[in-house]
Amino acid sequence: MVDLSEYRGIFLEELEDQLQLIEDEVLRLEQAGETEGGIQQFFRAAHTLKGSSASMGYNGLKEVTHHLEHLLHQMRGGERGVTPELIRLFFEALDGMRTLQSEIAATDQETTDVSGLVQRLSTFAVEGLQEPEDKAPAVQTSQAELPLQLFWVHVWLSPGCEMKLPRLHLIDAKLRSVAAVLRMKPELEEIEDHDSRIDEASWLLSPKIDIEELRQEVLSIMDVDRIYIEEVLNDSPRPGEFVRPHHPETGSRELPEVPESPPSATDKTKPQTIRVQVERLEKLMNLAGELVIDQTRFHLLNRRFHQQYGTNDLTEELGQLADHLAMITGELQESMIKVRMLPIEQLFNRLPRMVRDLSGSLNKQVELVLEGKETELDRTLIEELGDPLIHLLRNAVDHGIETPEIRRSAGKSETGTVRVAASHEDNQVILVIEDDGAGIDSSLIAESALRKGIITAEEASGMTEDEALRLIFRPGFSTAPQISDISGRGVGMDIVRNDIERINGMIDIETTRGQGTRFRIRLPLTLAIIRGLLVHAGGATFVIPMSSVAEIVRVAPEEIASVRGQPVITARGQLVPVVWLQDILHLPASACGSPASIPLIIVGRGEKRLALAVDTLIGNQDIVIKSLGAYMGKTENISGATILGNGNIALIIDTASLFFNTGVFA
């Protein structure tokens, strides 16, 4: 008995890929109607899942996909067309498979009873069939009248196939269901459980269906690279007699080349990729980070050697080695960051179904436009970005897009548009979420905030339109008149902003009454290694992320004024509050007396600015971010730590939390 538990991770990856493909095809069916290519793609995905789930012993998935496959077979034959009822049933089946997927991932067991779903699929399959068009009447021919035909079917698995033995089991089962198999080379029993060298096999068989249909059945199985079929020219062999293939056998059992698909051309066009566990990539990234730390330390040692021993052959050679190590480390660091990158399409794929279901429940017509799916982003950022993006989209559909009646009366198309676009800009990723809905009324925002006690009447009277607009990011704010499962609980946009700022991102908002709203999110490419500004304050060294630094200035103590007891400076015509970093972190004041000038790092958060006073500016360098770990937990004003070139630890300042914890912007 073959132990398939080791293939579970690979199966779950394949399951996610195929379910996403099915979801995309069902959405396409609903919006654009059926196409031959789309139905074939859908059928192949269901067929692949049926085979792999049967091989892994997940009978619930196998039954659902089997009945899905039957419905799709009817569509391929012209016996059934696309109807709203069919689309709803497809989505119900997809949701059922998603539930089973979650259970398999969590417990390796299917606990949900899908018999009701299977019954609905089965019942639907026998209802509402239509006569296929342009189908020639079948010719009745007795089996005895048909001459016995034998074929050698040679199948090659794709080079990237990681479940070779289960795939061969699946191909063998498929062939035995559509043909009388006389011989298989090598026999399944001969293949060792972990023999990864087996990537091809041959079957001698007599088909029960058309040979071209048999070819398509085999090609529909995932990881089948190519197939070659040759007819055996021997006259009717006796039962059980072995018939050699038409081509001569060699000691290595080389199979004939496939004329229409030579290996050289296939190998050149096939993407050379492998699947790697995330834990291994994280380990490599950590090792690359350690190398960056050691390279920085080596650079400091090199500088000290030059200062102590001057310039000679040894120090020159050491300098060249330091420069070469810096170059190699930089290239390794850049390569590792690229390895962690994933197309944002993985996140975008979750959105169409959500918008479709939400707009249907609200009786709105919404078109979702996705742009820049190929834009790459660190996989950690993609995971963290999911919830904020979904919340912004739900808000756009619920609050932004009007009902068809209101849009018609305003001279707009009845179908609203929500656009999500991703792009690279400098060293960052820009994500835009916009709609062509009603826009946001800043006066209503201020009134709602005043009514909920979020702001005072005095604050409301002195607010600009932009300041009133940004009240939507305050905790507890909501304009929904009643609580629903979509909105009205006041736990939305503040969480969105906090989640984005936690990954060193920024969010801005623009709106025009009657025309729509645009959210613009700016994100770093990666969270693993950042550029940081090293400063000294209160006897310790700290790192301030350069992505948060708007400006660095030096001012004389007398240039710092006081407004209502709060120290401020004037920078570019704007009053900027000043706080001492050592005071925020409750560290002792510097013992160096009163300096002639004070270094100020002006950090930004949206339109707000805050000047951090420090003792000394050290310089900027690449910083490898280390988590503080579960033992320390969440530490106020600190987002992580790093190891410096001299071996000391420096804490990384969480600039976003400073704006809350200083009390300046309360």
Catalytic residue ranges:
47, 69, 395
Q: In whole angstroms, give the CA distance from residue 220 to residue 43.
A: 8
User: E strands within 118-185?
Assistant: 151-157, 179-185
Q: In whole angstroms, give the CA distance from residue 547 to residue 524.
A: 8
Q: In whole angstroms, give the CA distance from residue 110 to residue 53.
A: 11
Q: In whole angstroms, give the CA distance from residue 470 to residue 618.
A: 36
> In sequence order, which residues have a C-beta less than 8 Å from that of residue 277 and are 6 or more positions away?
9
Cα–Cα distances (Å) from 135 to 73, 131, 142, 213, in that order, read 15, 9, 21, 17
For strand 529-537 and strand 516-524, is the pairing parallel, antiparallel, or unpaired? unpaired
Cα Rg of the chain (Å, integer): 33
How crowded is residue 203: how many other Cβ atoms within 10 Å of its Cβ?
21
Q: In whole angstroms, give the CA distance from residue 407 to residue 415.
A: 8
3-state SS, 76-95, equals HCCCCCCCHHHHHHHHHHHH
Give 195-263 as a DSSP string: -TT--EEEEEEEESS-HHHHHHHHHTSTTEEEEEEEE--S--PPTT-----SSPP-TT-PPPP-TTS-H
